[in-house]
Amino acid sequence: MKTFPQSVQKLIEHFSKLPGVGPKSASRMAFHVLNMPKESALDFADTIREMKENVQFCNQCFHLAEGPLCSICQDAERDDKIMMVVEDVLDLIAFESTGEFGGRYHVLGGVISPVNGIGPEELNIFSLFKRLKDSGVVQELIVATNPTLEGEATAMYIKQELVDLGNISITRIARGVPTGADLDYADRSTLAKALSGRIQL
């Protein structure tokens, strides 16, 4: 189909490479950009350029940053004694949005997955060990990888590697039934975890 002008065709291709976007939605998105005011579209383009030029990963925790250190690592108010390990930045953002955690983070950039050829050396895992040893003040490390097979395996790997740093308590986020869930729709594994992890009222 050579009926689209070339730049429209190219924009459709760019949109269709985004996660969850098929060719039909990509066309609709390109048309939306075509119909939006010129300033908005140019601002859209500039934002992509600006982001790619300014945003990098924090040298310390691998969160997004506009300089060598991210806003969380720069924040002197946060508690250095507690650190949370997450798979990716979106998980960090999810925990931040609860407002319940005031410690530091460490973003792994993924999970150990032998099937996909991802070992510890592909992740920010050795930098985590180094960071813990160098700092010496962390008392609790919360491992908040996803409750998947690979997330659990990564959590176990971290625990084993840190055995000799006996002074750090390593914890795992709780598993159980999510808020608002319907118990008879919950899977067996979730119910079993909710039962074994029951707490005193």
Question: What is the contact surface with a copy of itself in residues (CB under 8 A)?
Answer: 1-8, 10-11, 14, 17-21, 25, 27-34, 36, 38, 41-52, 54-55, 63-66, 71-72, 88-90, 92-93, 96-97
Helix axes 23-35, 6-16, angle to 10 degrees: 130
For 84, the 3-state DSSP assignment is strand
The conformational region for residue 180 under phi > 0 = left, psi -120 to 50 = alpha, else beta, is left
Percentages helix, strand, coil for the chain (3-state, rounded to 5) are 50, 10, 40
Strands 64-65 and 56-57: antiparallel
**174 CB contacts (<8 Å, ≥6 apart)?**
197
